[in-house]
């Protein structure tokens, strides 16, 4: 009886902590969406009225948000004992990396946008569970799209053209040669496509995605960066007409595809002789184990609220969910006609890299 009571207390405490965490993530959403962190990073310590003026929000909301951020330990307050209207709040440098530096490796504030996007469609997810249907990706809206694109932006901007591709030196050599061609399938907001075009300026880089809104944003990001990239609102079947490619990438997208073996088959058919397919997907455990570690818990969290519902819109569907294990990747590659799958020796807490040999 004592053990059961202790277990219940522990779970209640865990859910209480999760509630605090969720509410604080929603406050991070407000700070990111309204430009509050950017204002603090740009102007230094501010009073509520100064933040309100610089960010264009109401003073009373500015004060409440600043107090909440200080209580949560996200912002520093210079004199907690001063009257509410004259207290100054600052975004300390290391915290600014997490909250206001979109290219920084520790910039995880976009998780808040992803949760906000899920929150707005939860009633539709409930209906999907009852009917067996799905919830289309576009229903999760601009918030989820922004969060998903920006949570991957640091890795796609820095690690992809750096140590990730360095694990395939023969492909890097090809990409530096004149006439090299790359396809980025499921490119989303285009950060990976832009990074590749910047790293290999003589290569032709195509970005493909089925989501029209994502393609529109990718084109805007490329224009703002001054990078010439072709973005197409298309699926993998478009590869054959545009190939051959020296490299086809599928970055954190294969598990979301209703017919992943068909996508891999199309990628293989579009390769130039000596080319390769690079699949980057979640670094989950090799086998199901419960309880799981924090990464496994997070991946299943995305799966039950977003990935699986979006995959079940189209039928038939492989319905992989988020948790695509290494054995599943190998099975899909075998179905698509590849001769070998190598797990590349790249250390990353969230991603595993697979090179597929045609």
Query: Which pLDDT score is estimated for 301?
Result: 98
Residue 280 phi/psi, 5° resolution?
-115, 120
Cα 184 from Cα 95, distance rounded (Å)? 32
- CA distances (Å), origin 137, targets 90, 142, 199, 221, 305: 37, 10, 30, 21, 12
pLDDT at 1: 43
Query: Across residues 326-337, what is the average pLDDT?
Result: 98
CA nearest neighbour of 236 among 265, 276, 195? 265
User: pLDDT digits over 93-129, tens only?
Assistant: 999 999 999 999 999 999 999 999 999 999 999 999 9
Q: Please compute the mean of the pLDDT values over residues 163-183 and round it to a whole number.
A: 97
pLDDT value of position 4? 58
* Structure confidence at residue 125 (pLDDT): 98
For 198-222, write each residue's pLDDT tens digit.
999 999 999 999 999 999 999 999 9
Q: Give residue 226's region: left, alpha or beta (phi > 0; psi -120 to 50).
A: left
- Calculate the average pLDDT of the chain: 97
**Contact (Cβ atoms closer than 8 angstroms) between residue 260 and residue 332:** yes
Fold that domain 2-101 belongs to in CATH: Arc Repressor Mutant, subunit A (1.10.10)
pLDDT of amino acid 172:
98
Q: Quick one: which of 129, 143, 184 has its CA closest to 26?
A: 143
d(CA 187, CA 248): 11
Reference 87, options 69, 99, 114; nearest CA is 69
Tell me the average pLDDT across 64-77.
Answer: 98
Return the closest-CA partner of residue 243 out of 186, 195, 180, 190.
180
The pLDDT of residue 5 is above 90: no
Burial 180-205 (b: 16+ CB within 10 A, else e): bbbbbbbbbbbbbbbbbbbbbeebbb
- Report angle CA 199, 247, 166 to the nearest 5 degrees: 55
Q: What's the pLDDT at 3?
A: 56
How much is the average pLDDT of 181-193? 98
Which residues in the chain are classed under CATH 1.10.10.10? Answer: 2-101
Question: Distance between CA atoms of 338 and 68, rounded to whole angstroms?
Answer: 53
Query: Does residue 39 register a pLDDT over 90?
Result: yes
Strand, helix or coil for residue 305: helix
Give span(s): CATH 3.40.50.150, the chain: 150-357
Among 218, 195, 341, 213, residue whose Cα is nearest residue 281: 341
Q: Using an 8 Å Cβ cutoff, are 207 and 231 in contact?
A: yes
pTM, to two decimals = 0.94
Percent of the chain that is helix, strand, coil (3-state, to 5): 55, 15, 30
Domain 150-357 is of which CATH architecture? 3-Layer(aba) Sandwich (3.40)
Pairing of strands 204-209, 181-185: parallel
């Amino acid at each position: 009886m004592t053990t059961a009571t202790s277990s219940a207390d522990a779970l209640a405490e865990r859910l209480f902590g999760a509630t605090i965490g969720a509410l604080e993530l929603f406050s991070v959403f407000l700070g990111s969406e309204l430009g509050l962190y950017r204002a603090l990073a740009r102007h230094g310590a501010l009073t509520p009225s100064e933040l309100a003026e610089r960010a264009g929000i109401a003073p009373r909301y500015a004060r409440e948000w600043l107090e909440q951020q200080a209580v949560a330990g996200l912002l520093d307050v210079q004199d907690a004992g001063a009257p509410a209207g004259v207290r100054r709040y600052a975004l300390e440098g290391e915290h600014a990396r997490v909250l206001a530096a979109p290219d920084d490796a520790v910039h995880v504030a976009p998780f808040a946008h992803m949760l906000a996007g899920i929150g707005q469609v939860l009633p539709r997810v409930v209906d999907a569970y009852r009917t067996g249907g799905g919830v289309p990706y576009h229903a999760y809206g601009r918030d989820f799209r922004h969060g998903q694109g920006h949570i991957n932006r640091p890795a796609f901007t820095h690690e992809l053209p750096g140590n990730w591709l360095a694990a395939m030196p023969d492909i890097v050599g090809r990409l530096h040669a004149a006439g090299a061609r790359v396809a980025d399938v499921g490119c989303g907001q285009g950060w990976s496509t832009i990074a590749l075009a910047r790293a290999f300026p003589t290569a032709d880089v195509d970005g493909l995605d089925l989501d029209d809104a994502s393609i529109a944003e990718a084109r805007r990001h490329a224009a703002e960066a001054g990078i010439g990239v072709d973005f197409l609102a298309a699926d993998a079947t478009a590869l054959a007409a545009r190939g051959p490619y020296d490299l086809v990438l599928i970055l954190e997208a294969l598990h979301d595809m209703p017919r992943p073996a068909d996508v891999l088959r199309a990628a293989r058919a579009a390769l130039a002789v000596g080319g390769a397919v690079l699949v980057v997907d979640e670094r989950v455990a090799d086998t199901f184990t419960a309880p799981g570690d924090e990464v496994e818990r997070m991946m299943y969290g995305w799966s039950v609220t977003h990935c699986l519902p979006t995959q079940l819109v189209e039928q038939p569907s492989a319905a992989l969910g988020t948790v695509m294990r290494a054995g599943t990747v190998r099975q899909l590659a075998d179905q698509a006609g590849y001769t070998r799958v190598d797990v590349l020796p790249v250390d990353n807490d969230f991603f595993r890299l697979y090179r597929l040999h045609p």
